[in-house]
Amino acid sequence: MAKIEVEGLSKIFGPNPEKALDLVEEGHAKDEVLEKTGQTVGVNNVDFDVDEQEIFVIMGLSGSGKSTLLRCLNRLIEPTEGTVKVDGVDITDLDSEKLRKFRREEFGMVFQNFGLFPHKTVLENTEFGLEIQGVDEETRKAAAEDALAKVGLDGWEQKHPDELSGGMQQRVGLARALAVDPEVLLMDEPFSALDPLIKREMQDNLLDLYDEMNKTIIFITHDLDEALKLGDRIAIMKDGEIVQVGTHEDILTDAENDYVRDFVKDVNRSRLLNAKDAMIKPRAMVYSEQDGPRAAMHKMRHEEISSIFVVGKHRQYQGIVKMEDVLELVNKGKDDLSEVVKEVPTASPQEDMDELFSKIANLDCPLPVVNDNNKLIGIIVKSSVLSNLSSEEVV
């Protein structure tokens, strides 16, 4: 069962929503409904599911209804019709008391404008949600300190918001949401007010936290690059409707209409592809615990390559040796291959093409790709990078 199930969800702003809904059902556009009734279609008959532990991104231009939709999911904005189920519980049926309890236990929310109390310390701001829940001081302090440590703000507990940069203030907002340990994080353009460098750091921080926390996240953005970086799936909205839901590949290669095509036509392909996409398996490797210079030379001659990577036990990356250096060892009668092992830069599987270019530009050998455990999982040659970027344009 999906974590969140949304069916037939609509929101009409105005005193007579039924009249506007009738026009919508007849096929009238948002502008026509406004002209005929004076009422605004915020969300129009939306259906989608969100899987457990998924990052589901909702994106669209200003006025598309994405933020309204997000607030309908926890009834900060009351839907006009439709259902929202979380773990099978229809929150549109909950009375006020049960709804407040459900929000406190299930949802954490992070806003674009931080929403911090200027007179409270960083720690007090982070504790706020727990304080509202009536959690005792010792427990909420421990939870807040743990949340601040997760976002890299340990040591800043007694500072006030005006002593923090914009990025740090947003980290406090994220820590406050994490402190209550919600099942679902609702994030409304949380990084859009940050400068590009800080924005990228926050995106990376969120992905790191996501790997640790196993939360379900619904993330609102108007930035396609951000959606592609963060989302498992993406929903694109226009005039209150979801016009397409899909994976990155679905959105980029199988746009359902001109609106979606316009969204993706200028996508930066170099930021979309990463090392994992471009790498290939090494044709051969030298194992330092069992191979010497002669084995290395034999493998290079057999594969018709001029250099070869050296790994230890469990393919732990050690470096590279070149044919001319190995030949010199053999001619001198030496058996210790480690004398000619050289270090070269490495890449992680997630590094994008822009980062790879800077590393591979001046290399006269392939670029090794290693995982978090320093295991060699692939190599990248210049032709791999160029072929990925020169393939058919994404439209």
Instruction: Return the pLDDT at 298.
Output: 93
CB 362 within 8 A of CB 382: no
| Start and end residues for every CATH 3.40.50.300 domain found in the chain | 1-87+191-200+208-267
CATH homologous superfamily of 1-87+191-200+208-267 equals P-loop containing nucleotide triphosphate hydrolases (3.40.50.300)
Residue 215's contacts (CB-CB under 8 Å, 6 or more residues apart) are 53, 182, 183, 184, 185
Instruction: Return the pLDDT at 389.
Output: 52
Domain 276-389 sits in CATH at 3.10.580.10
| Start and end residues for every CATH 3.10.580.10 domain found in the chain | 276-389
Residue 170's contacts (CB-CB under 8 Å, 6 or more residues apart) are 110, 114, 190, 191, 194, 202
CB 336 within 8 A of CB 289: no
Angle at 310 between CA 339 and CA 371, to 5 degrees: 130
**Continuous H helices in 84-230:** 96-106, 122-132, 137-150, 166-179, 196-213, 224-230
Q: What is 220-249 written as a DSSP string?
A: EES-HHHHHHH-SEEEEEETTEEEEEE-HH
**Long-range CB contacts (< 8 A, 24+ apart) of 168-173?**
169/114, 169/116, 170/110, 170/114, 170/194, 170/202, 171/202, 171/205, 172/114, 172/116, 172/122, 172/125, 172/126, 172/148, 173/110, 173/111, 173/114, 173/115, 173/116
Structure confidence at residue 272 as a pLDDT band (50, 70, 90): low
Please say whether the dihedral angle defined by the alpha carbons of residues 225, 227, 228 and 230, taken in this order, is positive or negative: positive
Average pLDDT estimate for 264-281: 72
Q: 179: closest CA among 221, 217, 121, 139? A: 139
CB 49 within 8 A of CB 87: no
Structure confidence at residue 92 as a pLDDT band (50, 70, 90): very high
Task: Summarize pLDDT for 46-71 with one digit per residue, the tens.
Answer: 999 999 999 999 999 888 999 999 99
Q: Give 46: exposed, middle or buried? Use CB within 10 Å, 0-12, 13-18, 19+.
A: buried
Cβ neighbours around 195 below 10 Å, total: 11
Q: What SS3 class is residue 266?
A: coil
CA 298 centroid distance within chain? 44
Task: Summarize pLDDT for 281-324 with one digit per residue, the tens.
Answer: 888 899 998 899 999 999 999 889 999 999 998 889 999 999 99
User: Can you read off the two tokens belonging to residue 32?
Assistant: 């026509």
Task: Summarize pLDDT for 197-252 with one digit per residue, the tens.
Answer: 888 888 888 988 888 888 999 999 998 888 988 999 999 999 999 999 998 878 88
In whole angstroms, what is the distance from residue 192 CA to residue 229 CA? Answer: 14
Measured CA to CA in angstroms, residue 108 lies from 42, 150, 175, 179, 238 at distances of: 23, 16, 10, 9, 26
Instruction: Return the pLDDT at 393.
Output: 43
CB 151 within 8 A of CB 209: yes
Structure confidence at residue 113 as a pLDDT band (50, 70, 90): confident
Instruction: Return the pLDDT at 332.
Output: 92
DSSP for residue 322 = E
In whole angstroms, what is the distance from residue 310 CA to residue 285 CA? Answer: 6
Q: 238: closest CA among 272, 218, 262, 268? A: 262
Task: Summarize pLDDT for 248-264 with one digit per residue, the tens.
Answer: 878 887 888 888 888 77
